[in-house]
Chain A
Amino acid sequence: METDTRDVEPDYYAIIGVARDATPEEIRRVYGEKIREAQSDTERFSSLSTAYEILKDTAKRAAYDRRQALIPQFPESTAMIASNPTAIGFATQQIGTPPPNGISLPSVCAMDLSACPLRSGSPAIDENFCAECGYLLGSPLGDLPRSRPLPKFVDVQGREFPLKLGENIVGRENADVVIPHNTVSRRHSRILVDDKGMVSLEDMGSTNGTRVASIMIPKHQRTGLQDRMVVQFGGVKLTLIMPVEEDELLALPEVSEKSQPLPAIAAPEGDTTARLIGITGVVHVLMADRTTFGRRAGNTVIISDDSYISGNHAEIVYKDGSFILTDLGSTNGTKLNGARLPPNRPEKLKNGDAITMGQTEYTFRGPAS
């Protein structure tokens, strides 16, 4: 999908160091200067040439500009809110969740994933929506559903057939799981989902029978099903997908009790959380256990507008009353107050510390240690 490339595309203008409306001559001139400086730095050299490949070609540059225009501008871009009369504003106070404005543009998809009960797929953006779960970026997030996720069937194409608690009739029409295929009987099988999430199945005397893991099951007799089992109704094969177990869910930082933002001790006027503040005014609220930074999906803070950020770049862990910064072996390094940190060596943070990941600069605001 086109959208998959969109959110990982770096800012080529920033890489070369020209304005978005720079003339082709200007781009060529600045590129010429930068590329000479970068002779010894292979990564810088290659990112410069990639950027120039796109920006030197009028058609490619126009296409790139269009793609960039589709990326939503988020909280820090107040100009857009003002220019869009229908956007009244962004909710900043949500009970039980970090304020959405504490997360910058590239990390909104981390928010998606925490909003998405399935937690699957990459956080691609289509228009203003998460391409996976459909979440409208920036819309106020509320509570997680109280009910546990339910098992479902998936067909060979990937189409999902959700199951509900209790009885589910599988049949050709007017059923809970409708499979419009002529080898499926009107009332083919009955599936029971109990309140512990266990799934069992019974053939209801169908014409063409039901197979579980390729074996024809006797009619009117209950058979227990397990995750990833292939069930064949007549000629149609469906795979059972069990939901992620609840304790596994709890292990994910997004829903962990400990993950509430921790009040910072030396917070100025009214601000109550430990956080990193970017030079553009971006604020990342730090979690009470672990906050990860990187380009890849799955990080607490996803930074995709800096091509010097590694997939898993760095983490900040809260332990024994201190916030501890560790570079996770990133390519371009993490600097603390101007000094590059050796990889995988934890370093305690003090209020006001300057942190640079790749080319992205932050100031740490937190408890004075």
Chain B
Amino acid sequence: MNGQPTQVLGTPGADPNRTQIGQPPLATMGVGSRNASLQLTVHTSNAYANSTEPTRHHLLTQVTAVGAGVSAGRRLPVNLALVIDRSGSMEGEPLEYVKRACNYVVDMLTPEDVLTIVTFEETVDIIMPARRVTEPQLIKQHIARISAGNTTNLFDGLYAAGAQVASVPLEGYVTRVLLLTDGEPTAGLKDFASIVNQVAELKARGITVTALGFGPEYNEELMAGIARRSGGNYHYIARPEEIPDVFRKEIEQVLGITGRNARLTLHLPHGCTVRQVYGTTPAHGARSSEIFLGDIERGTTVSKLWEMELEARRSATYRIAKAVLTWDDANTGLIETTTQNVLLEFTRDMATISRGADPLVAQELAVVMASRDLEKTMQGMKTQQLSLADVTRAIERTQQLLTQQGRINEAQELNQVAQAAQRGDGSAMEKTLIGTIYHLDQGRKR
């Protein structure tokens, strides 16, 4: 990458005769322990800012969980709930693949971990209340007995699973609810608001929900909304044989989590404000803005782009933000904190400013804008203001851009959208596209 971390003053392109002051060693104080699992870097869209008038800048924050794979280093125990839709439409192949996927999850867990299995149709069955995974064979016998019923009572299923996960009085666990459904809620509380509010309550208790939508019938806005509200994942599963693979990816991610409850706060001086964080809703304080990054697994980088507004000020170097990342660390077992000072030199020399741009931030901005374009495309598709040809062209353009920017997963998803468009499968297009937008907003990259 060409990007210059902002902590380095004396950026190439700066006037070599200009007196610069290096960052004093004090600035690195407060960095997490040596073997802490998360690292924070901050890039600014430009190393310089115009001192004569108000300007907008972008900050790119990247939080990286070091290491790779499930087996590298210690892992945190998990407190996992599987919430399975066994409505009538799941009968046959889908439910058989679900059982296979559940068995795989049981195999991946150890007696250190806690597992809950809940199924729902008209009513809710707690197949396995929150228990340690000590007798995998017994659990698998219970899984084998799951059979299809009638309606879809998603709300109560989610509620029962959340209650089980929350009942475990153990600290330091990765908590996750894995929800799989193939249809619209048809029993119990059915409205979007009730279900998403329940997810918000779970999140407040530290429980993340991953929403897996299977087949053409489920409500993608509800499922993506659940994931977005909770910070979990969303996946569209087109065919039953894909179910085990999606479960495998999810469980690998959960087992790889090395930083929990990560939150990133920018402490701001006067005259610097955060206008927005793309794809995330920040909590604003008087002189701070905070985003919740949730759980981060090894080998993953979470990028967030912040739009800042900077007032005109006397030419000099300023710290425009003090970025503080805190998280529960799996490696050290402690709550860790790391800090980065974000420095900008304010000058009235436009030639200097024009040399200070950071291409890395510009690239990230292009990705964010691609996500906005996809939202518009999706809107146009739903309101039928865009023709299929228009949509296909827009998708292909964004796909090229994402490929260039190294967003391979999202580019592949758009490829699937384009294929669905060729088949004339509008449902698959929307279900995939809403996921791509969410994945771009999450800013996660392995």
User: In the assembled complex, how far is the CB of residue B349 from the closest CB belonging to chain A, in whole angstroms?
Assistant: 9
Q: Mark A115-133, 1 if CB is under 8 A from B, else 0.
A: 1111011000011111111
Assess whether A89 is interfacial by the CB under 8 Å rule. Answer: yes
Q: Which residues 295-324 in B have Cβ within 8 Å of A in the complex?
A: 309, 311-320, 322
Choose from A126, A128, A150, A161 the contact partner of B24 (Cβ within 8 Å).
Answer: A128
Is A157's CB under 8 angstroms from B285's CB? yes
In the assembled complex, the Cα of A87 lies from the Cα of B27 at a distance in Å of 13
Is B24's CB under 8 angstroms from A72's CB? yes
Closest A residue, CB atoms, query B26: A127
User: In the assembled complex, how far is the CB of residue B267 from the closest CB belonging to chain A, in whole angstroms?
Assistant: 8
Choose from A115, A136, A149, A162 the contact partner of B319 (Cβ within 8 Å).
Answer: A136
Is A158's CB under 8 angstroms from B287's CB? yes
Choose from B273, B281, B315, B322 the contact partner of A159 (Cβ within 8 Å).
Answer: B273
Is B22's CB under 8 angstroms from A86's CB? yes
Which of B51-59, B60-68, B170-178, B327-335 makes up part of the contact surface?
A: B51-59
Interface residues on A, range: 35 or more
Is B270's CB under 8 angstroms from A88's CB? no
Q: How many cross-chain pairs have Cβ atoms below 8 Å apart between A and B?
A: 142
Q: Mark B273-286, 1 if CB is under 8 A from A, else 0.
A: 10110000100111
Which of A15-23, A46-54, A137-145, A355-363 makes up part of the contact surface?
A: A137-145
User: In the assembled complex, how far is the CB of residue B39 from the closest CB belonging to chain A, in whole angstroms?
Assistant: 20
In the assembled complex, the Cα of A114 lies from the Cα of B313 at a distance in Å of 10
Choose from A89, A118, A140, A180 the contact partner of B270 (Cβ within 8 Å).
Answer: A118
User: In the assembled complex, how far is the CB of residue A152 from the closest CB belonging to chain B, in whole angstroms?
Assistant: 8
Is B313's CB under 8 angstroms from A116's CB? yes
Residues from chain B with Cβ under 8 Å of A116 in the complex: 270-271, 313-314
Is A142's CB under 8 angstroms from B54's CB? no
Assess whether B1 is interfacial by the CB under 8 Å rule. Answer: no
Assess whether B137 is interfacial by the CB under 8 Å rule. Answer: no
Is B269's CB under 8 angstroms from A134's CB? yes
Assess whether B72 is interfacial by the CB under 8 Å rule. Answer: no
In the assembled complex, the Cα of A178 lies from the Cα of B281 at a distance in Å of 12
Residues from chain A with Cβ under 8 Å of B341 in the complex: 127, 129
User: In the assembled complex, how far is the CB of residue A157 from the closest CB belonging to chain B, in whole angstroms?
Assistant: 5
Known: A147-B52, A180-B281. A133 touches B271 (CB 8 A): yes
In the assembled complex, the Cα of A135 lies from the Cα of B51 at a distance in Å of 13
In the assembled complex, the Cα of A91 lies from the Cα of B25 at a distance in Å of 20
Closest A residue, CB atoms, query B270: A118
Known: A146-B52, A158-B286. A130 touches B24 (CB 8 A): no
User: In the assembled complex, how far is the CB of residue A100 from the closest CB belonging to chain B, in whole angstroms?
Assistant: 10
Closest A residue, CB atoms, query B53: A147
Choose from A87, A136, A164 the contact partner of B54 (Cβ within 8 Å).
Answer: A164
In the assembled complex, the Cα of A127 lies from the Cα of B340 at a distance in Å of 12
Number of B residues near A (Cβ < 8 Å) is 45
Assess whether B20 is interfacial by the CB under 8 Å rule. Answer: yes
Q: Which residues 15-43 in B have Cβ within 8 Å of A in the complex?
A: 18-27, 29
Residues from chain A with Cβ under 8 Å of B284 in the complex: 157, 159
Assess whether A84 is interfacial by the CB under 8 Å rule. Answer: yes
Assess whether B347 is interfacial by the CB under 8 Å rule. Answer: yes
Q: Which residues 161-178 in A have Cβ within 8 Å of B in the complex?
A: 161-162, 164, 178
Assess whether B348 is interfacial by the CB under 8 Å rule. Answer: yes
Residues from chain A with Cβ under 8 Å of B25 in the complex: 84
Residues from chain B with Cβ under 8 Å of A91 in the complex: 19
Assess whether B343 is interfacial by the CB under 8 Å rule. Answer: yes
Residues from chain A with Cβ under 8 Å of B319 in the complex: 129, 134-136
In the assembled complex, the Cα of A85 lies from the Cα of B22 at a distance in Å of 8
Known: A88-B20, A159-B286. A143 touches B314 (CB 8 A): yes
Is A162's CB under 8 angstroms from B309's CB? yes
User: In the assembled complex, how far is the CB of residue A369 from the closest CB belonging to chain B, in whole angstroms?
Assistant: 35
Closest B residue, CB atoms, query A157: B286
Choose from A85, A88, A144, A180 the contact partner of B21 (Cβ within 8 Å).
Answer: A88
Closest B residue, CB atoms, query A85: B22
Assess whether A70 is interfacial by the CB under 8 Å rule. Answer: yes
In the assembled complex, the Cα of A127 lies from the Cα of B22 at a distance in Å of 14
Residues from chain A with Cβ under 8 Å of B21 in the complex: 86-88, 90, 136, 138-139
Assess whether A160 is interfacial by the CB under 8 Å rule. Answer: yes
Closest A residue, CB atoms, query B281: A180
Is A143's CB under 8 angstroms from B22's CB? no
Q: Mark B356-377, 1 if CB is under 8 A from A, else 0.
A: 0000000000000000000000
Choose from A90, A118, A141, A164 the contact partner of B315 (Cβ within 8 Å).
Answer: A141
Is B24's CB under 8 angstroms from A133's CB? no
Residues from chain A with Cβ under 8 Å of B286 in the complex: 157-159
User: In the assembled complex, how far is the CB of residue B22 from the closest CB belonging to chain A, in whole angstroms?
Assistant: 2
Residues from chain B with Cβ under 8 Å of A89 in the complex: 19
Residues from chain A with Cβ under 8 Å of B346 in the complex: 142
Residues from chain B with Cβ under 8 Å of A72 in the complex: 24, 26
Closest B residue, CB atoms, query A126: B322
Choose from A87, A136, A145 the contact partner of B317 (Cβ within 8 Å).
Answer: A136
Known: A145-B312, A159-B284. A133 touches B270 (CB 8 A): yes
In the assembled complex, the Cα of A87 lies from the Cα of B199 at a distance in Å of 51
Is B52's CB under 8 angstroms from A84's CB? no
Residues from chain A with Cβ under 8 Å of B23 in the complex: 86
Is A134's CB under 8 angstroms from B53's CB? no
Is A132's CB under 8 angstroms from B270's CB? yes
Residues from chain B with Cβ under 8 Å of A149 in the complex: 311-312
In the assembled complex, the Cα of A138 lies from the Cα of B21 at a distance in Å of 8
In the assembled complex, the Cα of A127 lies from the Cα of B25 at a distance in Å of 10
Known: A88-B20, A127-B27, A136-B343. A121 touches B270 (CB 8 A): yes
Known: A88-B20, A90-B19, A133-B271. A144 touches B26 (CB 8 A): no
In the assembled complex, the Cα of A5 lies from the Cα of B322 at a distance in Å of 19
Choose from A132, A145, A146, A180 the contact partner of B269 (Cβ within 8 Å).
Answer: A132
Residues from chain B with Cβ under 8 Å of A144 in the complex: 314
In the assembled complex, the Cα of A141 lies from the Cα of B317 at a distance in Å of 8
In the assembled complex, the Cα of A89 lies from the Cα of B21 at a distance in Å of 7
In the assembled complex, the Cα of A132 lies from the Cα of B25 at a distance in Å of 21
Residues from chain B with Cβ under 8 Å of A85 in the complex: 22
In the assembled complex, the Cα of A86 lies from the Cα of B27 at a distance in Å of 13
User: In the assembled complex, how far is the CB of residue A115 from the closest CB belonging to chain B, in whole angstroms?
Assistant: 4
Assess whether B102 is interfacial by the CB under 8 Å rule. Answer: no
For A85, A91, A117, A133, the residue with the greatest tally of chain B CB atoms inside 10 Å of its CB is A133
Besides A90-B19, A136-B317, 12 more A-B contacts (Cβ < 8 Å) are A72-B26, A89-B19, A118-B270, A129-B319, A131-B269, A132-B269, A135-B318, A140-B18, A141-B315, A142-B316, A159-B273, A162-B311
Which A positions have Cβ atoms within 8 angstroms of B?
70, 72, 84-91, 114-118, 120-121, 126-136, 138-147, 149-150, 157-162, 164, 178, 180
Q: Which 7 A-B pairs have the closest CB atoms?
A: A86-B22, A142-B315, A158-B286, A134-B269, A139-B317, A145-B312, A134-B318
What are 10 A-B pairs with beta-carbon distances under 8 A?
A87-B22, A116-B271, A118-B270, A127-B341, A128-B27, A133-B313, A135-B316, A142-B316, A145-B52, A147-B52
Which B positions have Cβ atoms within 8 angstroms of A?
18-27, 29, 51-54, 269-273, 275-276, 281, 284-287, 309, 311-320, 322, 341, 343, 345-348
